[in-house]
Amino acid sequence: MVWEPLGGGVKYRFFQEDDNGWRPQVAFFPQVFIPVGPANRGAPVTELFPIWLQKSLGAWTMFGGGGYTNNPGPRNKNFANYGIALQRQILSNLTLGVEVFGQGPDTTTDHGSAAVGVAAIFDFNDLWHLVGSANTGISNAGTDQFSFNLALKWTP
């Protein structure tokens, strides 16, 4: 079993999307990640400071951005990360999308990496959603030959 960091953040939207024009939604979404589990003993708490943009046109939505991750610790490096996604509302309760994302090296001996993936969101109702994604590394993939995520999301 692999333990992932426990994380949380607060999103602050400072520009609202213009439904009749080209102005995108712009938000700042700082996050803190706390390492948990025996495999992460001694790992540092890291912070991510990204800016995200989003623009919807009909059933299509494009979003993405980038940020800076503070990654303290011996042999660790602070690094930039980025991502962009395109999704389409297929049914009233189903959205499908594709994404490209990556980051710079996070240690003094590491290289940056990039990946591509596909994702889906199924809405059970306004509160509960099933979110799934699968991706593969395309640049310095290392152990990310293939990975997936499946989550139940609650949005009160």
What are the backbone dihedrals phi and psi of residue 38, each rounded to the nearest 5 degrees, phi first?
-65, -30
With contact defined as beta carbons under 8 Å apart, do 121 and 90 qualify? no
Counting Cβ atoms within 10 Å, is residue 117 exposed (0-12), middle (13-18) or buried (19+)?
A: buried
Give how far Cα 68 sits from Cα of 41, 83, 101, Å.
Answer: 24, 12, 14
In CATH, 6-154 is 2.60.40: no
CA separation for the pair 111, 27 (Å, rounded)? 28
| pLDDT tens readout for residues 6-35 | 667 788 999 999 888 889 999 998 989 888
Predicted structure pTM score: 0.80
Residue-range domain boundaries for the chain: 6-154
- Concatenating the DSSP letter of every residue in 105-120 gives -SBTT---EEEEEEEE
| pLDDT tens readout for residues 74-126 | 899 999 999 999 999 999 999 999 999 999 998 999 889 999 999 999 999 99
Check pLDDT > 50 for residue 1: no
